[in-house]
Structure 1
């Protein structure tokens, strides 16, 4: 039997506080093989003008969390519990009509692959103009002018002409810029970016990240940035939440999490990243094992089957007791604060350089 224990002195969040507040969110999918526990007891806040980076391996629940915020799930096979409050509005109980008024207007999303997210049958300009017309009541000409303006803002050369092109006529980087223009056309208050740079080369990736930061300063949007790459997160995020197997295992400011991480999973992510100043022949240090099946997640701490530090805790606690994340700067791990500090300083940091 698994019991739940808090591992930090600070209590978990208890009510809506941020511009976007997620409280004890659980998302389950019914499948032929059983119930997938995609998100389990997740809580976090995002403030206006700040960027929250959500990082973790594939299958950790990052994208499911943000699709749930937008209400983009199958209501017939999905069970959702908890609270999602956006600017005082509860989203889980919102009607489809209410969600449609928010999507693309006050909340927008940049998808990972714009080639599949954009229609091949309509010009780029029309696809950017359409949500602006829908949400503002602008005329066709006004909406088209706005689309051209936004293409210019995201750095598309000759935007008046390129707006007439179709997605397949754009390069990968230009398509991603067009997707950002579409997301920002209505000046959203919250922008969700789902691994928007994964398929891009390093140079274009850096351009997109700089573009997002510049546009955030201009529009003042809150951003939720999803990625599996801590290197990317370091460039864009004010705060970081690390997810594993449907739950948050560590949370804090970007500086706190990257300079003094407290969870063995975060240590593993950092340790598996290549370094520019390292020996090119040196092997990377991957996290042992594989992420668990969310049909039947491990008891106790979900990371314990892959954790090399559970013997430091003593007894069978990592297997039987599930550690919970506290508020603010915290990590869900049974190691004591002093143990975490000592292990990081003496064993982890020397490997990171």
Structure 2
């Protein structure tokens, strides 16, 4: 996803994350690779259970090692994370890399003030005094647009609105100026106005700090607003990747096409019916053979020899662009055009 002459800040190679359960092995992530450069935003999109959040919790080292088998390589600024000690990861978390969670109310302690929680992170990683940490907390609340930050710093989470709590979470995540920020659907529970404000805030702070951002979502509209590059996940694997313009403007995988056609178009006719993807996401305990999307794919029967159900498609990436699909390019373009016309989308 990055240019060949630029060393990626984060590099993930052939990542596999498998969980042991009473019912068997859950292959939550099954061979994922991507890069992200400093100051860039990578949008990871897919349905629930596609492996988005698991991937990023693995980057942070937040899985139970007793129940999790992890293979592959994760390099953060050249430092290997999968073999790093817990002590090393603790120093990196909140300092060099940080995360904004989806549910701010559940992530914040109800027993401590907002300022105390932000200041605690800052003191742990910098050794600052209580006075210095409080001043830093007020500074960060100011930066994320909290009104009267010198007063609100002493409020508890329940005294903040949903949008204000999310801003406080962003302040906490950025208090140590991390170089990598992982945002796990941070706007899902917010109304569209507050959502737009949070997106603008993240972009402004990225410009100020030069932070690399991984933005996890199931909403392609959000991806269109914030991402530079896009990675589409399905069933624990990457099925398509490229720049935002490439993936959203010219999808090459049937799953990506399905996601786009299930969204309403704000600038089109209001009477165009949506085209939801039939069926349900695959079980990661017993995933389908071949292409994991083939049971739901509108084009699987067009591929000769039943290849979609028998052979796993290879993700071939050239200059950051690629998709994992058995359809030939000319065949795909014709089928996708007919599908879009039938569905009523341009």
> Is TM (by shorter chain) over 0.5?
yes
Which residue among 327, 333, 336 is the counterpart of 1:341? 333
The Cα shift of 1:236 comes to 0.3
Rounded to whole Å, the distance in 2 between the matches of 1:149 and 1:184 is 11
**Contact 1:56 1:242 (8 Å CA) reproduced:** yes
Of 184, 197, 200, the residue aligned with 2:190 is: 200
Alpha-carbon separation, structure 2, partners of 1:157 and 1:206: 18
* Corresponding residue for residue 130 of structure 1: 120
Of residues 233, 237, 240, the one that matches 2:227 is: 237
Q: Quick one: distance in 2 between partners of 1:234 and 1:221? A: 19
Matching residue of 1:91:
81
Other-structure match for 1:351 = 344
8 Å CA contact 1:260–1:344 kept in 2: the answer is: no
Q: What is the CA-CA distance between 1:341 and the residue it aligns to?
A: 2.3
The Cα of 1:277 is off from its aligned counterpart by 4.1
1:295 aligns with 2:285: yes
User: How much is the aligned-residue C-alpha RMSD, in angstroms?
Assistant: 1.6
Aligned pair partner of 1:225 in 215, 219, 231: 215
Q: Provide the residue aligned with 1:109 in structure 2.
A: 99
Residue number in structure 1 paired with 2:256: 266
Match of 1:54 in 2: 44
After superposition, the C-alpha distances for 1:170-212 in whole angstroms (9 at most, x for unaligned) are 0000000000000000000000000000000000000000000
Q: Give the number of equivalent residue pairs.
A: 340
Please give the per-residue CA displacement for 1:320-341, whole angstroms capped at 9, x wherever unaligned.
1101212210000000122222
What corresponds to 1:329 in structure 2? 321
Q: How far apart are the structure 2 equivalents of 1:342 and 1:254?
A: 22
1:179 lines up with 2:172 in the alignment: no
Q: Is the 8 A contact 2:272 2:344 kept in 1?
A: no
Does the residue aligned with 1:223 lie in a helix, a strand or coil?
strand
Partner of residue 41, structure 1? 31
**Is the 8 Å Cα contact of residues 273 and 344 (structure 2) preserved in structure 1?**
no
Question: How do 1:144-155 residues align onto structure 2 when only pairs under 5 Å count?
Answer: 144-155=134-145
Contact 1:270/1:352 (8 A) holds in 2: no
Q: Which runs of 5+ in 2 are unaligned?
A: 1-5
* TM-score, normalising length: structure 1: 0.94
CA contact (8 A) 2:12 2:32 kept: yes
How far does the alpha carbon of each residue in 1:213-261 deviate from its partner, in whole angstroms, 9 at most, with x for none?
A: 0000000000000000000000000000000000000000000001000
Runs of 4+ in 1 over 6 A off after TM superposition: none
1:252 maps to which residue?
A: 242
Pairwise CA distance, 1:282? 4.8
Equivalent position to 1:24, from 3, 10, 14: 14
**C-alpha separation in 1, matches of 2:337 and 2:269:** 22
* Pairs within 5 Å for 1:1-16: none
CA contact (8 A) 1:271 1:351 kept: no
1:63 is paired with a residue whose SS is: helix
TM-score (norm 2): 0.95
Distance in 2 of aligned mates of 1:262 and 1:345? 11
Alignment of 1:284-323 (within 5 A): 284-323=274-313
Higher-RCO chain (CA-CA 8 Å, sequence separation at least 6): 1
1:312 Cα deviation (Å)? 1.7
Partner secondary structure for residue 348 of structure 1: helix
Find the aligned partners of 2:277 and 2:250 in 1 and give their Cα distance: 19
Q: Paired residue for 1:170? A: 160
